[in-house]
Structure 1
Amino acid sequence: MKRAHVMGIEGVGMSALARLLRAEGVEVTGCDLAPGKRAKALGVPVWPGHDPAHLGEEDTLIVPTPIPLDHPEVLEARRRGMRILRRMELLAHLLAQKPSLGVTGTHGKTTTTGMLASILLEAGLDPWVLLGGELSLLPGNARFGLGPRLAEVDESDPLFQGVGVGVAVATNLEKEHVAPEGKRAPNYHESLEALLAAMAGFLRKAAVAVLPVQDPLLAEAAQGLNPLRFGEGGDLWAERVALFPTGSRFRLVYRGKALGEAELRVPGAHNVHNALAAALAALAFGVPEEAILRGLARFPGVGRRFERLGEVRGAWVVDDYAHHPTEVRATLSAAKLLGRRVRVLFQPHRLFRTLELWEDFAKALEGAEEVVVLPVYTAGERGEVSPEALSQRIAERLAASGKEARFLYPEEALAYAKATASPQDLWLALGAGDVTELARRLVHEG
């Protein structure tokens, strides 16, 4: 591969791949429906939209999962005889070049990958890293290095089962990114059985699998394997856990031997879980214990994972990527440690997911003192229920349970949050869509 054209280059995963290809000497061009700061930061030619006319002298076309292979730009590349690679096919190819680690799971994979990156850096291993988020320890969402290769492997992409790594970490698994019955989409698994089969394929390709002690779906996917396990009753666990508003402290114990006191600068019990996953993967990879403890202590958190943006009228404004009921619960649990009144700007993400889980979202959001529900961020999906009506359901269910809740459009929500913020509040923006921009505006315009 000498010249590659990357479709959807603004996406966090695609931009990371483009950055790493450039570092390897590949000439990169790209296009995206909405090019933004990530694409611009790459310093390569990027066109708005998708069009066969974008193709020039490239020999390879990199295609993200949501784009169908009968797209005009893809068909033109095929007509020209270009090599066509899905993002997971390219990732599998890149990871095969060196000793590697891959992290997947429904929740926590970005943070766990970031923790592992911090550990490998602290060990002086000069890692190559691909991350599904921004980490201040890296040049954004990727790092080129000559050492081991570490990647976040997105389980929402059915092709992830084709990725082979030396150490495979699965943080957890839930029925997520599964298409509703009778519907198909390229970035959804056809069924829960298909998701389990894909996870089993990913785990079986690895030399070592690292899994939590308690996870029914992962246990089913890992049948016949002999994985390393983290959590109480496993190979690595945490003792004397103390949770604080901005982090935690615990003793790390490996097969009965105390490795030392671990400290985290990111809050919540869920991050202790993530740290155990990262630490056990690092041990399996042969990283010294001291580097593991230093790497965990150094980890600053990933962008949009309980990221404090600033204040508005004395209220803290925190942004978090939580877009599944389990993640919402974990984030609210961490938020409560701050001792402030937790008020939420919640933007559901994807129609199919919200249709399936709207009642679970309402239940999870009961952990907040107040919830403002925004219209669903559809990510291009279309359904029988409008984004507004679906979000209204969540707000109404919360109100019926006695919670202070309302449905508002983004500009209304911004005005309401500005007008009612007070020093005892924490305004928490939750969701994988553009609610993050609303949170940033709340800080800068408030």
Structure 2
Amino acid sequence: MKRAHLMGIEGVGMSALARLLLAEGVEVTGCDLAPGGRARALGVPVLRGHDPAHLEGADTLVVPTPIPPDHPEAAEAQRRGLRVVRRMELLAHLLEGRPSLGVTGTHGKTTTTGMLASVLLAAGLDPWVFLGGDLSLLPGNARPGRGPRLAEVDESDPLFQGVRVRVAVATNLEADHVAPRGRRAPNYHGSLEELQAAMRGFLLGAEVAVVPASDPLLLEASRGLPRRLFGEGGEVWAEGVELGPWGSRFLLIHRGRPLGEARLQVPGAHNVQNALAAALGALAFGVEEGAILEGLARFPGVGRRFQRVGEVREALVVDDYAHHPTEVRATLEAARLLGRRVRVLFQPHRLLRTQELWEAFAQALAPAEEVVVLPVYTAGERGEVSPEGLAQRIAERLLALGTEARFLENEEALAYARATAAPGDLWLALGAGDVTELARRLVHEG
């Protein structure tokens, strides 16, 4: 590969791959429907939109998972005899034959990967890192390095089962990125059983699988494989956990022996579990114990994971990527530790996911004092129900559960949040779409 053209280069995964390819001496170009900050930061030619003419001079086309084979740009690349590779196939190639760790799971994989990156840096191992979020320690979403290769491996892509790493860490497994019955999409699994089988394929390709002792789906997926367990009932666990509004501390235990006090700068019981996954992954890779505690303490959190944005009218504004009911529930539990009135701007992400989980979203959001539900961020999907209709359904269900709730379009929601913000409030922006921009505007335009 001498010159690669990346479609959707503004995406967090594609821009990270572009950065890593550049470090290996590959000439990179890209295109995106909406080029922005990530594309500009790469310093490479980035064209707006998608057009077969973009392929001039390239020998390889890298495409995101949702792009169909008959897309004009992909079809033209095939006609010209260019190598066409999916995002996950390229990641597998970059990891192949290297000392490596891969982190996957329905929730927490970005944070756990970030924690492991911090640990490997503390150990002085000069890691190569591929991350699905921004981490100030790298900086950004990728780090070229000469040491071990660490990658977040996105389980939403069925091709992830072909990625091979030495140590495979799986944080948890739930029915997410599973298409409704009778529906198929490139970035969805056909069923929970297919997802579980793909997970087993990923774990099977590793020398050792690191999984939670309390997750029945992962225990089944790793049955008969060389594995190590974390959490209660495993070889690594936490004792004396103290949860604070912006972090936590606990005694890290390995096989009954205290390794020392772990201090985290990120809040919530779910992040204690992420830290246990990272600690055991590091131990399985042979990292020394002191570096594990130091790396966990240094980890500042990944962008959009309970990230403090600022204040508006003495109300605190926090942004979080939570886009599955389990993640929403965990984030609300962490938010309550702040002792403020929790008000939520919630943007559901993807039509197919929301069609399957709208009732679960309402149940997860119900503990908030107030929820403003925004139209579904479709990410290009089409469904039987409109983005507005699905959001209204969630809001109506919340009202039935006794939670103050309303459906508003994005600009209306911004105006409402700004007008009603008060001291003692916490406005929590939740979702994987552009709700993060509303959180930023709420603070900086308030």
Whether these two folds match at TM > 0.5 is: yes
Q: Any conservation in 2 of the 1:348–1:375 contact (CA below 8 Å)?
A: yes
Residue in structure 2 matched with residue 153 of structure 1 by the alignment = 153
**Equivalent residue letter for 1:99:** P
**Equivalent residue letter for 1:287:** V
- The normalised TM-score by structure 2 is 0.99
Residue in structure 2 matched with residue 260 of structure 1 by the alignment = 260
Residue in structure 1 matched with residue 140 of structure 2 by the alignment = 140
Residue in structure 2 matched with residue 46 of structure 1 by the alignment = 46
Rounded to whole Å, the distance in 2 between the matches of 1:46 and 1:226 is 44
Q: Deviations over 1:378-406 (max 9, x none)?
A: 11111111111111111111111111111
Residue in structure 1 matched with residue 98 of structure 2 by the alignment = 98
Residue in structure 2 matched with residue 31 of structure 1 by the alignment = 31
Question: Does residue 304 of structure 1 match 2:274?
Answer: no
Rounded to whole Å, the distance in 1 between the matches of 2:115 and 2:409 is 36
1:97 is displaced (CA, Å) by: 4.3
Question: Does residue 330 of structure 1 match 2:320?
Answer: no
Rounded to whole Å, the distance in 2 between the matches of 1:12 and 1:366 is 31
Residue in structure 2 matched with residue 177 of structure 1 by the alignment = 177
Query: Once superposed, what is the RMSD of the aligned Cα atoms?
Result: 0.7
Superposed counterparts of 1:50-65, under 5 Å: 50-65=50-65
Q: Deviations over 1:42-99 (max 9, x none)?
A: 1111111111100111111111110011212112111222111111111011011420
Residue in structure 2 matched with residue 354 of structure 1 by the alignment = 354
Residue in structure 2 matched with residue 16 of structure 1 by the alignment = 16
Higher mean displacement: 418-427 or 219-228: 219-228
Q: Deviations over 1:199-251 (max 9, x none)?
A: 00000000010000011211221122131000011010000100001100000
Q: Deviations over 1:176-221 (max 9, x none)?
A: 1011111111110111121111100000000010000011211221
Residue in structure 2 matched with residue 84 of structure 1 by the alignment = 84
**Equivalent residue letter for 1:308:** R
Q: Secondary structure at the match of 1:133?
A: coil
Q: Secondary structure at the match of 1:135?
A: coil
In the superposition, relative to structure 1, how do residues 53 and 4 fare at CA in structure 2: closer, same or farther (>3 Å)? Answer: same
Higher mean displacement: 379-388 or 144-153: 379-388
Q: Secondary structure at the match of 1:301?
A: coil
Rounded to whole Å, the distance in 1 between the matches of 2:200 and 2:301 is 29
Rounded to whole Å, the distance in 2 between the matches of 1:409 and 1:110 is 29
Q: Secondary structure at the match of 1:330?
A: helix
Q: Any conservation in 1 of the 2:168–2:209 contact (CA below 8 Å)?
A: yes
The number of equivalent residue pairs is: 446
Q: Any conservation in 1 of the 2:207–2:226 contact (CA below 8 Å)?
A: no
Residue in structure 1 matched with residue 129 of structure 2 by the alignment = 129
Q: Secondary structure at the match of 2:196?
A: helix
Q: Deviations over 1:345-385 (max 9, x none)?
A: 00000111111111100000012111000011111111111
Q: Percent identity?
A: 80
Residue in structure 1 matched with residue 246 of structure 2 by the alignment = 246
Residue in structure 2 matched with residue 223 of structure 1 by the alignment = 223
**Equivalent residue letter for 2:300:** P
Q: Any conservation in 1 of the 2:18–2:28 contact (CA below 8 Å)?
A: yes
Rounded to whole Å, the distance in 1 between the matches of 2:118 and 2:367 is 32
Residue in structure 2 matched with residue 3 of structure 1 by the alignment = 3
Rounded to whole Å, the distance in 2 between the matches of 1:60 and 1:12 is 20
Q: Any conservation in 1 of the 2:208–2:225 contact (CA below 8 Å)?
A: no
Residue in structure 1 matched with residue 287 of structure 2 by the alignment = 287
Q: Any conservation in 1 of the 2:252–2:259 contact (CA below 8 Å)?
A: yes
Q: Secondary structure at the match of 1:393?
A: helix
Q: Secondary structure at the match of 1:140?
A: coil
Q: Secondary structure at the match of 2:134?
A: strand
Higher mean displacement: 380-389 or 431-440: 380-389
Rounded to whole Å, the distance in 1 between the matches of 2:367 and 2:138 is 34
Rounded to whole Å, the distance in 2 between the matches of 1:13 and 1:403 is 36
Residue in structure 2 matched with residue 109 of structure 1 by the alignment = 109
Q: Secondary structure at the match of 2:348?
A: coil
Q: Any conservation in 2 of the 1:238–1:276 contact (CA below 8 Å)?
A: yes
Q: Deviations over 1:392-433 (max 9, x none)?
A: 111111111111111111111111111111110000000000
Higher mean displacement: 422-431 or 95-104: 95-104
Rounded to whole Å, the distance in 1 between the matches of 2:3 and 2:198 is 31
Q: Secondary structure at the match of 1:151?
A: strand
Q: Secondary structure at the match of 1:317?
A: strand
Rounded to whole Å, the distance in 1 between the matches of 2:427 and 2:28 is 40
Q: Any conservation in 1 of the 2:5–2:58 contact (CA below 8 Å)?
A: yes
Residue in structure 1 matched with residue 213 of structure 2 by the alignment = 213
Rounded to whole Å, the distance in 2 between the matches of 1:339 and 1:164 is 44
Q: Any conservation in 2 of the 1:175–1:192 contact (CA below 8 Å)?
A: yes
Q: Deviations over 1:234-280 (max 9, x none)?
A: 01000010000110000000001110000000000000000000000
**Equivalent residue letter for 1:25:** G
Query: Stretches of 4+ moved more than 2 A in 1?
Result: none
Residue in structure 2 matched with residue 319 of structure 1 by the alignment = 319
Rounded to whole Å, the distance in 2 between the matches of 1:347 and 1:88 is 27
Rounded to whole Å, the distance in 1 between the matches of 2:339 and 2:139 is 34
Unpaired runs of 5+ in structure 2?
none
Higher mean displacement: 194-203 or 224-233: 224-233
Q: Deviations over 1:320-362 (max 9, x none)?
A: 0000000000000000000000000000001111111111000
Q: Any conservation in 1 of the 2:214–2:233 contact (CA below 8 Å)?
A: no
Rounded to whole Å, the distance in 2 between the matches of 1:97 and 1:164 is 8
Rounded to whole Å, the distance in 2 between the matches of 1:411 and 1:78 is 42
**Equivalent residue letter for 1:444:** H
